Amino acid sequence: MSDSVIAIVANDAYLPQVKSLMVNCRRHGNWQGDFCLVSAQDCNPPDLESRGIYVMQAPDATWSMFTKFHIFSDYFKEWKRVLCLDCDILIQGDLNEACDGMAEKFPAILFDGSSDGSIVHNWKHFDALYGDGPEAHPELYDKMREQFPHIDKQILTADVIFFSPETVPSGTVAALQSTAEEFLGANRGRIDQPVYNLVLYDKMAPITKDFCTWFAFDDPGNRVPNEAKGWRGDEAPAILHYWNMYAPWLDKTPDAGAYFNHRLNRVCRELYLENLAAFEETFPVTNKGE
């Protein structure tokens, strides 16, 4: 067992993306640590453990984005460092060096800091997207503001989370779950990100562009100084977040966003498929710990 682990939270439908990302971490991120798939009770992942991959089946009866809360459970205290990645991530640099650099901010819990907008705006965005919209329940937002007066501060996004389990307060999973339930009327999509920003904000710190960023911010034309965002212009992030319609596995035309990764000099979908095809070779059947 390593002292560091990459945790990926997914259901059965995203197992191909999980496998491709794990190979991407090994091949292009030179990752020397462990891997763990986190799923719910209604998921039936294949026998990944025989390939040296840890599997945590959370107690949730059915999978949702709230299943990700369990990365803060005692299960992960077996490791000193946890890097949690969404499936729509592409690794383009050394992850070991990136983790060493990010760990300088411990004991903070690090979240991707490349997004704009406030926490309350994030809540209202998902409320309108998946529910009745914020106008349908203003009392929930009044209650939220009373309990969490920091909701006008900048949102930190949950596509990449990095932390030391020993510094996670006891009861964090329960606090996230109870807060999610309390404000579920404004979060029918069961999005985990806005909940972290309520419960954990005083313990959170942003991951800078030196280590992680939104894919478009690393395009050659955006590798420039930007005082407002705190960019020097010479950052070389190892981790890129793509999201939704820009996901690396999607087939795109050359003129579409996120078609090409410039640092790896590869078409994103071709790289995804190549990594997926190399999963069994990269993770041969063995006994965990050998």
Domains of the chain: 4-282 (3.90.550.10)
Side-chain half-sphere of 118: how many Cα atoms within 13 Å? 10
First CA to last CA distance, the chain: 9
Q: What is the pLDDT of residue 287?
A: 64
What is the helix (H) or strand (E) element at residue 127, kind and residue range? helix 119-130
Q: CA-CA distance, 38 to 58, in Å (whole number)? A: 7
Q: What is the mean pLDDT of residues 196-223?
A: 96
Q: What digits encode the pLDDT tens for the residues 144-157?
A: 999 999 999 999 99
pLDDT at residue 288 above 60?
no
* Tokens encoding 205: 């710190």
The proportion of the chain whose per-residue pLDDT surpasses 90, expressed as a percent, equals 93
Q: What is the pLDDT of residue 161?
A: 98
Q: CA-CA distance, 114 to 156, in Å (whole number)? A: 8
Q: How confident is the model at residue 116 (pLDDT cuts 50, 70, 90)?
A: confident
Q: What digits encode the pLDDT tens for the residues 40-75?
A: 999 998 889 999 999 999 999 999 999 999 999 999
Q: What is the pLDDT of residue 257?
A: 87
Place of tokens 């993306």: 17
pLDDT at residue 141 above 80?
yes
Residue type (1 letter), 173: V
pLDDT at residue 125 above 90?
yes
Q: What is the pLDDT of residue 115?
A: 86
Q: How confident is the model at residue 289 (pLDDT cuts 50, 70, 90)?
A: very low
